[in-house]
Amino acid sequence: MQLQKPNKKFQRYLAMTTLCAGLFAAMPSAHAANWLMLQGTEPADNAARAKVWGFIQPMYSKDFSNGFAGKYVPPKLVGPSLDSQSSFNILRARIGVRGTGFPLDSKVNYFILTEFGNNAITNGGHYGSYKPYLSDASVTLNYIKGARVRLGLFKYPGSEEGLQGIAAFPYIGYTSVTNQMLLERFPTNGETNIAPQTVPNADMNAFSAPAGAFRDVGAQVFDAFDVGNWEHTYAVMLGNGHGMQMTDNNSSKDLYLYWSSAYLFDKSAKGPFRPSLKMFTWYQSGKRTDAYDKTQEQERKRYGVGVSYLKKPFRVSAEYMVGKGMIFQGAQNPQRMFNNNKAAGGYVEGGYFIPNTKFELDLRYDTYKRNKGILKGPTPEAKFNTWTAGVNYHFNKKTRFTLDYSIRKDSSVFTPVNNQLKDVKGLLALQVTAVF
């Protein structure tokens, strides 16, 4: 957020913050995890020296969209290869090790995770480009009370959808605002100008560099502290702003800020299913070097506010996010994949755990508007609205089956773009998650 007199956008941001706090403060009980404290920290009294863990997510997806003039482009093709409308896939297959320096020093934690699945991390979309990737590698120093220090490659503090553990994510796909505005792509030289009419479908949305996956290489100071039944958590991080890539392509650093306040209804509960009500806000800013023109830089800002609530048999969460600069355009744009425009969006979702069964019913509405206020030209305003209905069957605490069906209604004020977006239809996805 810029330091200037309040404008309409800032007023809406404050209004959303107040609304979230007011709506959920009256709720009697909740369930929301403190993801910052669950990733990269280990209990000093009983942590293992090396704990191997991971999960696998095989899936199937089918897109029911219609083509325009015989052409099918994203988002009418399933990823990551973007060469068909249906596919079986191993979306994620991650294995890692975490632990402490025990018995030498339990205040030193480490966290390593590798990705073997077929997704935007390991396969940008070019044929034959698949390769496993190191997604996390960090050390946390817990010597200063109230100021833990985490160094390396890890998830940056930010949106709940990106920060939470993906194995606990109740849906298969991200919302449009998270997928387009937050899940950052990093083109290399020559990939910023991709004309759909000159390349095959499979390369329309492809990059040789891995997607950011809500991660960065940097240093973070963070911790959580209790005040009565309230747990307050903060994080301040400086990162390269180059995603999971080990090298940095400019001298500018990204700034990440995070705050959450959670009312704990059971302070003895631990882990991702702790009963609590959490309200949070986050902010990030940095600069990106143009991959096509190295002399040009563009600012990238993102910020948001949200709330998460669950008391079985119900779960509710909501988040609103704003972005400026480096707005991803997708394959519909015939000139550039990024621009300096504005975008905003959010979601409201909920779940119902059917009593005395293993079934969980989920419903989510998300909306995203990119290139806000741009009514002419090759990068016009576009809207993405999606309803997703889902069912989770929990075989046990670590294994579940998920079925999602999304109804998508996309549009643009620019006819050539709208010709493709108006025929975006339903998307079916099935997935098994097995944690070990």
> For 102-137, how does the pLDDT look when each residue is reduced to its tens digit (9 = 90+)?
677 888 999 999 999 999 899 865 545 788 999 999
Amino acid at site 36: L
Residue in 32, 3, 1 with CA at minimum distance from that of residue 265: 32
Residue 201 has pLDDT above 80, yes or no: no
Q: How far apart are CA 169 and CA 433, in angstroms?
A: 10
The whole-number pLDDT of residue 8 equals 53
Q: How far apart are CA 22 and CA 14, in angstroms?
A: 12
pLDDT per position as a tens digit, 379-436:
889 999 999 999 999 999 999 999 999 999 999 988 888 888 889 999 999 999 999 9
Residue in 358, 284, 351 with CA at minimum distance from that of residue 323: 284
Which tops the pLDDT comparison, 254 or 332?
254
- 3-state DSSP call for residue 385? strand
Q: Which residue has the tokens 């030498």?
A: 104
Alpha-carbon 261 to chain mean position: 20
- 3-state DSSP call for residue 327? strand
Q: How far apart are CA 417 and CA 228, in angstroms?
A: 53
Residue 15 has pLDDT above 60, yes or no: no
Residue in 343, 385, 348, 394 with CA at minimum distance from that of residue 367: 385
Would you say 257 and 239 are in contact if contact means Cβ atoms under 8 Å apart? no
The whole-number pLDDT of residue 333 equals 52
Q: CB neighbours (10 Å) of residue 225?
A: 11
In DSSP terms, 289 is beta-bridged to 297
Omega of the bond leading into 313 within 30 degrees of 0 (cis): yes
Q: How far apart are CA 97 and CA 112, in angstroms?
A: 5
**Burial classification of residue 193, based on how many CB atoms lie within 10 Å of its CB (0-12 exposed, 13-18 middle, 19 or more buried):** middle
The whole-number pLDDT of residue 339 equals 85
Would you say 60 and 89 are in contact if contact means Cβ atoms under 8 Å apart? yes
Q: How far apart are CA 288 and CA 295, in angstroms?
A: 11
Topology of domain 4-435 in CATH is Porin (2.40.160)
pLDDT per position as a tens digit, 266-324:
777 776 667 789 999 999 999 998 766 677 888 999 999 999 988 888 889 999 999 99
Residue 203 has pLDDT above 90, yes or no: no
Average pLDDT over residues 158-179: 94
Q: Which residue has the tokens 């990238």?
A: 300
- Lookup: tokens for 308: 């998460």
Would you say 83 and 77 are in contact if contact means Cβ atoms under 8 Å apart? yes
The whole-number pLDDT of residue 80 equals 83
Omega of the bond leading into 103 within 30 degrees of 0 (cis): yes
Which tops the pLDDT comparison, 287 or 20?
287
